[in-house]
Amino acid sequence: MSSSQPDKFEPLVENLERFIEITRQLGLVVSDFQPQGQAPLNQKLHMLVSSLQELDKNKEQVQDVQVPLELIYEYVDQGKNPQLYTKDCMERAVAKNELVKGKIETFRRFKKALVTELGKMFPEEIDRYKTVRGSDT
**Final residue belonging to a domain, choices 13, 36, 65:** 65
**pLDDT higher than 70, residue 6:** no
**pLDDT higher than 80, residue 7:** no
**Final residue belonging to a domain, choices 20, 48, 65:** 65
Residues 44 and 6 in one domain: yes
Question: How many CB atoms are located within 10 Å of the residue 44 CB?
Answer: 19
Query: What total of structural domains would you count in the chain?
Result: 2
CA distances from 120 to 95, 113, 116 (A): 38, 11, 7
What range defines the domain where residue 137 resides?
Answer: 67-137
pLDDT digits (tens, 9 = 90+) for 55-106: 888 888 888 888 888 888 888 888 888 888 989 999 999 999 999 999 999 9
Residues 71 and 137 in one domain: yes
Report helix angle 4-31 to 38-58, nearest 10: 160
Question: What is the maximal distance between C-alpha atoms in the chain?
Answer: 100
What is d(CA 137, CA 127) in angstroms, rounded to the nearest whole number? Answer: 10
pLDDT > 90: what percent of the chain? Answer: 46
> Confidence class of residue 35 from pLDDT cuts 50, 70 and 90?
confident
Query: For residue 63, how many C-alpha atoms fall within 13 Å in the half-sphere facing its CB?
Result: 6
* pLDDT number for residue 122: 93
Give the pTM.
Answer: 0.50
